[in-house]
Amino acid sequence: MKKEVFLAVLLGAILGGALVVLVRYHQELASFSQQQWHHWRRVQSRPTPPSTPKVASPTSAPKNEAIKLDLVAPIDGAVVNKSPVVIKGKTQPGATVVIIGDEDEVILVADNKGDFKTDFKLTGGANDIEMTAYGANGAEKKIVFTVTYSTAKF
C-alpha cells in the first residue's frame, strides 16, 4: 500500500512540474509566428558571413520589457467568511497568470484587456497567496498577498 501511494505522489509531482513548464513557455512559443519561423529557417541555412558589429535598431523594444500585475480584489490582508474567494486582477493582455496558495493552484490567461478573474479555494486561517504573471517576452512579475478565511460571525 505504501509503495502505491509513493508512486502516485511521485507521478503527480512529475506531471505537475511538466504542466508548469509547459504553461511557462506556452506564450513564448505561441508568439513565434509562422513568418518568424520561416525567417529563422532561412537564416539558419545561410553560410555564416564574416563578423561585423551589429547596431541595435532604435525602434526595437527591449527583450524583457517589464510586465505589470495589479491585484484588484480581494485586498491584501482581507478577512473573508467564505471559500472560494474571487480573485480579480489586471496585467498585460494575453499574459499567463499562475496563482498558488495552500489549498488551490490556478493557471489562467488574461483577456484582451489584461483582466482576469477566478474562484480560489482557501484554508481556514491566514492564506499566503503568490500570484505571478508571465508575459510573451519572458518578463514576469510576482505579487504575494494574504487573505484570512474565518468562519466566525462578523
Q: Which secondary structure element, helix H or strand E, spans residue 12, and what is its range?
A: helix 2-30
Residue 75 pLDDT greater than 50, yes or no:
yes
pLDDT at 95 over 70: yes
Domain match, 83 and 29 both: no
> Could you tell me if 124 and 81 lie in one domain?
yes
User: What value does the mean pLDDT take over residues 111-127?
Assistant: 89
Q: How far apart are CA 117 and CA 138, in angstroms?
A: 22
Distance, CA of 109 to CA of 77 (rounded, Å): 25
43 shares its domain with 69? no
Q: Do 40 and 100 reside in the same domain of the chain? A: no
Same-domain status, 133 and 82:
yes
As given in the structure block, the three cell numbers for residue 57 are: 535598431
Q: Is residue 58 part of a domain?
A: no
Q: How many residues does the chain have?
A: 154
Rounded to 5 degrees, φ, ψ at 92 are -70, 135
pLDDT tens string 14-50: 877 776 666 666 555 555 545 555 555 554 555 555 5
pLDDT value for 23: 64
Residues 10 and 78 in one domain: no
**106 near 141, Cβ under 8 Å?**
no
Share the mean pLDDT of the chain: 76
Instruction: Work out how many domains the chain is built from and give that number.
Output: 2
154 shares its domain with 97: yes
Say whether both 87 and 149 belong to one domain.
yes
CATH of the domain at 153: 2.60.40.10
Range of the domain at 14: 1-47
Residues 99 and 38 in one domain: no
111 located within any domain: yes
Same domain, 77 and 108: yes
**Residue 11 corresponds to which cell in the numbers above?**
507521478
